[in-house]
Structure 1
Amino acid sequence: MDSPWLLASLPFALGVVMFGLGLALRMDDFRLVGRHPKAVVVSLLCQVLLLPVICFGLVLAFRLPPELAVGMMLLAASPGGPTANLYSHLFGGHVALNVTLTAINSVLVVVTMPIVVNLSARYFLSGEADIGLPLGKVLQVFAIVLVPVAIGMLVRARAPKVAQWLNRPVRVLSVVVLVVVISAVLYGAREDLADYFVAVGLAVLVFNIVSLLIGYGVPRLAGVDHHAATAAGFEIGIHNTAFAITIALSPALLNNAEMAIPGTAYGIVMFFTAAGFGWLITRRRTQEPVPSAQTPVEPA
């Protein structure tokens, strides 16, 4: 996880992925989100309020040591990220909704993350963390997520033939990037992999699965269509673990390596659970009966 090559190249790799997502987006996609705000509101409520409460319950149920408990709560307070957008793209989610949620959460996290982590530290460590989030980190999240997407959308709007030509190879490249990232994470953590999972693996796995199910299930119960619920499922179930790890390790913030362990374990587990989740909901969707001409079809 501490490979200089991986840390230096990851933003560029994610930029390629986000550019590919932009090639598939139009401004009309974002206008659709604005006309149907229920998906945005429900997803944000799940991510900002429901997940920290569930994570707190899991931490108590698994009786995690104090530092690992705070690390889990830090993970729960972290926003989604580019990886969620990629999975949504690959499994038919509403990518514009993902980008919108990531952008909103990148702003909200300035307030919500310090509240969650400070309260957790006071409860589990009997002390105060008093952490804040530097503006530079927020701007970095915005730059990685929004700038490449905007460039891709601009290419599609100004040169649609070029965008059509680039769409397939960039999508293939996105899958390659995902495989490389998974391999690099596994290789970088190979020596400590067993220790990570012994310490917090089961709690991380349960939290990851619950996050994916809540992210998809709650919006569906609220009447949100399948594509938007798929986007919400990945956005809520795939946290920005690099963000959580950075906050935990930063000397200016928590400066605690043990608090980074849940984020590291989650960063490994989520690639596989998210792929299984995407396959499951896609398979279930294809097995649903095709609506008849008289049956109103959900808006995509």
Structure 2
Amino acid sequence: MGSALTTIGLPVALGIIMFGLGLSLTPGDFGRVARHPKAVIIALLCQLLVLPAICFALVVLFDLPPVLAVGMLLLAASPGGTTANLYSHLFRGDVALNISLTALNSVLAVFTLPLITNLAIAYFLPGDDELGLQLAKTVEVFAIVLLPVALGMLVRWWKPGFADRMDRPVRIASIVILVVVIAGAIVSNLDLLIENFGRLALITIVFCLISLTIGYLAPRALRVDRRQSIASSFEIGIHNATLAIVIAQTVIGSVEMSLPAAVYGVLMFFVALGFGFLIRGRRTDDAEPATSAAAAAPR
């Protein structure tokens, strides 16, 4: 990718996205975790332990080249993005829980993302020390992930009215900038992307479907209510592909390693939309008891 596009455009786009996330967060969003510990613990266990293990099994099964395999694990280690909140809203999930999970996952990712990525590099690319996320690069991850979020939260605390007014413009700006930057990045690397798209399309679709399914069924099996299970599903199933791309290209310095996230970042929208309609079709079965209870409640 063009150096200016990679080193400036992508981090700026991600910074605006994370700043926008911070504008929507308050300390109460972290406190909410204590009020819904069961849903949060299940979602985090799926996100931090189950998905990397499944992703590792998939890259071995699909026999991906080592750099692409590491790219898939980097994607699996990335937290949910703000897009998960949108899908949760569209399909009647607990958006407040999504916001809390995104906040908590973004903090934890500062530690878990370098750990999982380094383990993947050690396994698939042994001896290639230049690609690892050592302390200096981990500090870069911290700066990329948390500083814009902290700044957004600080603005919201200092000027809540301004934060509310800026929420929509920042979201729109982040989407526009992200689309322009990614479109330019795709054009500048079109040959490399086309060469690997066929190899990566199926595994990214399968990974996204498995992530969404586990995120929904695991909480339901453990008696978490439906709205929280939907929130968990999209939080776990929709990874922050932009973060994975930025880490791969600007921190690790490997365009090829970013390809799984780039392909996933395009296909996940369609997979998540289809999955949302699928679980929405089950709403009438799950909602009957609640409907009856509501009808019987005194007015």
Fold shared per TM-score above 0.5: yes
Q: Which secondary structure does the structure 1 equivalent of 2:209 belong to?
A: helix
Q: Distance in 2 between matches of 1:296 and 1:229?
A: 25
Change in CA separation of 1:149 and 1:114 when aligned onto 2, cut-off 3 Å? closer
Q: Distance in 2 between matches of 1:195 and 1:226?
A: 41
Change in CA separation of 1:63 and 1:283 when aligned onto 2, cut-off 3 Å? same
Aligned residues: percent identity? Answer: 43
In the alignment, does 2:193 pair up with 1:189? Answer: no
In the alignment, does 2:135 pair up with 1:138? Answer: no
In the alignment, does 2:67 pair up with 1:67? Answer: yes
**1:100 match:** 100
More moved, 220-229 vs 36-45: 220-229
**1:123 match:** 123
Give the superposition deviation at 1:244: 1.2
> How many residues of Structure 1 are paired with residues of Structure 2 in the alignment?
284
Question: Residue deviations 1:255-283, cap 9 Å, x none?
Answer: 22211111111111112212222233233
More helix by share: 2
Change in CA separation of 1:35 and 1:5 when aligned onto 2, cut-off 3 Å? closer
Structure 2 unmatched runs, 5+: none
Aligned residue identity for 1:189: I
**2:40 match:** 40
Change in CA separation of 1:31 and 1:119 when aligned onto 2, cut-off 3 Å? closer
Aligned residue identity for 1:273: V
Give the superposition deviation at 1:108: 2.4
**2:231 match:** 231
Q: Distance in 2 between matches of 1:40 and 1:107?
A: 14
Normalising by structure 2, report the TM-score.
0.76
Flag the structure with more relative contact order, 1 or 2, with Cα contacts below 8 A and sequence separation at least 6. 2
Change in CA separation of 1:296 and 1:143 when aligned onto 2, cut-off 3 Å? farther
Matches within 5 A, 1:80-95: 80-95=80-95
Matches within 5 A, 1:151-300: 185=182, 188-189=185-186, 191-192=190-191, 193-250=193-250, 253-286=251-284, 288-289=287-288, 291-293=291-293
Aligned residue identity for 1:220: R
Conserved in 2, the CA contact under 8 Å of 1:81 and 1:102?
yes
Q: Distance in 1 between matches of 2:38 and 2:148?
A: 26
Give the superposition deviation at 1:143: 4.7
Q: Which secondary structure does the structure 1 equivalent of 2:123 belong to?
A: helix
Q: Distance in 2 between matches of 1:175 and 1:91?
A: 21
Conserved in 1, the CA contact under 8 Å of 2:16 and 2:170?
no
More moved, 172-181 vs 228-237: 172-181
Question: Residue deviations 1:223-272, cap 9 Å, x none?
Answer: 1111211111111111111221122123xx43222111111111111122
Give the superposition deviation at 1:10: 5.5
Q: Distance in 2 between matches of 1:104 and 1:254?
A: 24
Q: Distance in 2 between matches of 1:239 and 1:200?
A: 16
More moved, 100-109 vs 51-60: 100-109
Give the superposition deviation at 1:184: 6.6
Normalising by structure 1, report the TM-score.
0.76
Structure 1 unmatched runs, 5+: none
Change in CA separation of 1:264 and 1:52 when aligned onto 2, cut-off 3 Å? same
